[in-house]
Structures are given as C-alpha cells and as structure tokens.
Structure 1
C-alpha cells in the first residue's frame, strides 16, 4: 500500500518542523524576559545589552556582550574607598605611609587612595599624565611621578601599574583600540620609574585593561573621565583584616 504524503490536509501533521522549533524558541525568549521583569526593576541599558547579545546569537552579527554591557567584568578586583579601621599588619603600614606621603606633598587633588583585594592603590586621572589619545607622559607630570618614585623606593612591595580607558572607541595611526592605548600608557609610567628613576625592574608589572574594568557607568562625560585612569598598585601579599 502506498504511503500517504504529509500535507496540509493531513490534520495539520504537515507543518514544517522548523516552525515548531521557532515557536519553541520564541516561547523561551518570552519566558526569559518575563522573569527579568518579575525579579528586578528593568535597567534599560542592561536590557539593551541583552537584546544585542540575542541579536548576535540569531543573526551572526557582532553584538555587545551581556557582561560588558552591564559594566561588570569577570573576576575584576573591586576598587573601594579605604577603611583603615578594618586594616592591620602590612596593609595598614602601607596605607599609613601612602597617606602621609600624599598629605606631606599636598597631592590630595591629584591622587586618590583606594584599595582592593590585592593591596593599596594610588589612583590618577589620565589627564594628569597624558594628552587625550596619547601615551607620552606630559612634562608637567614628571615632578609628581618623581615624588611617587621616592615613595615606592621607600617600600619593598611589588608594584603593578594599570592603564584604564573609557568605552569611547579609538582608532588612529598609532593606536587601533583602547587595549593598545591603555597598554602604552602603563608601560610609559613603568619605564619612567625604571629608566628615569633607576628603580628595580623586577618589582614592576605593567597591566592594561582598556575599557573593561570601569569604576563608573560610561553614560556621561563625568563618569567616562573617572574611568580614564592610571592605577599604581602597591601589592600586599597577605591582606590582613581586623576581626
């Protein structure tokens, strides 16, 4: 007996399988967005990032990652304001020396003290050290860096110099991305300490993060300026906390 062909008259059994798959996918997406709305207040920027990620998934076009769009980076040490009351041991000693150095040299307007899980951070805005889009140190920045080199020389801690940018794309004949710019800037500072001031090279690490470790949302000029920074991290091997 000849088999019956599947068709539109076969009680709906002829519906193409791709339509069923598509309908399942749409249902799952709808459920996902309902859950987002149910469990939290929807952040428009995050929702836009999620939409872009799904667009990339279905169309194969480049899209912003969900993690990047939320302003969060995996395993990124979180910079925070210093709380001396929670410190003791080496961490407290390093903080005290950094605080005394800033007060003595009246550098409160140029340097901020921060901390993360690795140690104490001296944070500077990029405009103090560099012209926009450039990685050569301003001549007027070297007196301050010279003083910082004296502080570093008085300590034994390893030093990590970190370059950070905002999320505004850069592409010129020198730098093709924010990665290259932040790398060149951190290396410029390290070279100054080593070649200009004679500090031991084995103490230094140059690190670059581009736009991917922001400390503020990149949603206005003021916040973008906060993200354009250079961190000089004094590493404390065992970060002790008061109990």
Structure 2
C-alpha cells in the first residue's frame, strides 16, 4: 500500500505584508492628523493635498504631495502655509519703508519726520521740538499736519501701533512733572490720544509707553545730541513681532 506524501508547510504567510502595510498607513494617518490639529490650514490647499494623498495611497498616477505644494511656491503642509523663501517678506518690508518715505517726501516732512526700521517694525520718528514746547506735553498746532499725514497712513493698516516717549538725560522738575519719566509718559499719551480720541482710530491697536532717557540714540554729551534723543516714535509693529527692545 503506497503512502501519500504530505506537502510540508514552509511556514510563510503570503499575506503577512498586509500587517506591515496597515501599520504604515495608520502611522501616516496619525501623523497627518497630528499636523492638522496643530495647524492653521488653507482649506483649498488642504483639499488638494488630501486628494493627492488619496491618489498616492491608491497607487494611481498624478501629482505627488510635494508637487501640489511646491507648484504654488509653498512649503509642505505643517502649520500656516508660508512662502518658500524670504523673498516675499523682504519685498513687503522694502515696500513698507519706501511707502513711508514717499509719504514723508510728498508732504514735505523730510526735516520733521525720520523713517526707520528695527527688529520690531517700522518707525515714524518725530523730534520733540516739532511736537512740544520745552518741558511741556501739549501738542503744537504746527505739529498737527505731520500727525494727520501719519494718521492717513496707519489707519489703513491692521498692525498694532506703539507710541514711545523719549527724553534726554537733563533732569526736569517743574510744577507739573517731577522727572523725565513723567514727561515722556505725558507726551506718549498726548500723541496716543490724538490718534484715538481726535482722529477716531481704534484705541485697542495703540500702546503708549514711556521710556524717559533710558534709550538714547546717541550720547547725551552735547546739546545737538540731546536734541536727537528727545523724540516720539510711532512704531508700526510687525504682525509676527515680539518686543525685543527699543528702536534704533
């Protein structure tokens, strides 16, 4: 009687790869869900990326996930989509400065207002002699055209505005102000109130601050230098700005 040969099982499961594949898909899904929960996503671009992901996972042809993003000049998914380089940001900064300078020139305010930029934003710098009498915080009538010109510029912007009062280091002690801190505070509030109460700009955008003589532009060793240090800065904050000190 002949014995049937029993084929031995080689122990290899042809479907074993499905477990690994499933784990990979689950990890990918978890990763993208995590990114989405931490992000501020452009709805249209996220839809495009989602379609691309589905296409790739189904093994179909078409654009890759990276192509969907990079064709629009954007970095891949995570967070708020931003330009692929700093060129656009630099161009916006240059445009802002040029617009400010053009505004000053068009209104013949070159000798009254300086335009500057620092790490926090863009600055209209006004010398105190244009705005105030010595030791006082009441606005001169001659300063109003300059402030009105700045008003027309900043009222169209969404940015917050910081009003900085600065003095020189010469001590002051009169019947109204006992020191430079009080004088710089009064001047900052006066300019702030002109924008918000007289011109009607949104007061929640404005932050008056007084700095006394703590942030001079130059050494207070001559009258000319002290005059440079007596100023009011109208700082247009960058949208992503974090306070990092005084304007230079």
Q: Residue in 2 aligned with 1:145?
A: 147
SS for the counterpart of 2:125 is: strand
Distance in structure 1 (CA, Å) of the matches to 2:141 and 2:113 = 18
Gaps of 5+ in 2: 1-86, 242-248
Q: TM-score, normalised by structure 2?
A: 0.60
Q: 1:220 aligns with which of 203, 219, 222?
A: 222
Contact 1:91–1:236 (Cα < 8 Å) also in 2: no
TM-aligned CA deviation for residue 120 of structure 1: 0.7
2-structure distance, mates of 1:218, 1:195: 34
TM-score normalised by L of structure 1: 0.61
CA contact (8 A) 1:90 1:236 kept: no
C-alpha distance in 1 between matches for 2:201 and 2:111: 26
C-alpha distance after superposition, 1:132-170 (max 9, x if no partner)? 000010111112111111111122211101000000000
The CA deviation string for residues 164-185 of structure 1, in whole angstroms up to 9 with x for no partner, is 0000000111000100000000
CA RMSD in angstroms comes to: 1.8
> Within the alignment, does 1:196 sit opposite 2:198 as a pair?
yes
Deviation at 1:107, TM superposition (A): 1.1
Q: Which entry has the higher C-alpha Rg, 1 or 2?
A: 2
Runs of 4+ with >3 A deviation:
none
Measured after TM superposition, the shift of residue 217 of structure 1 is 0.3
Among 168, 174, 187, the alignment partner of 1:166 is 168
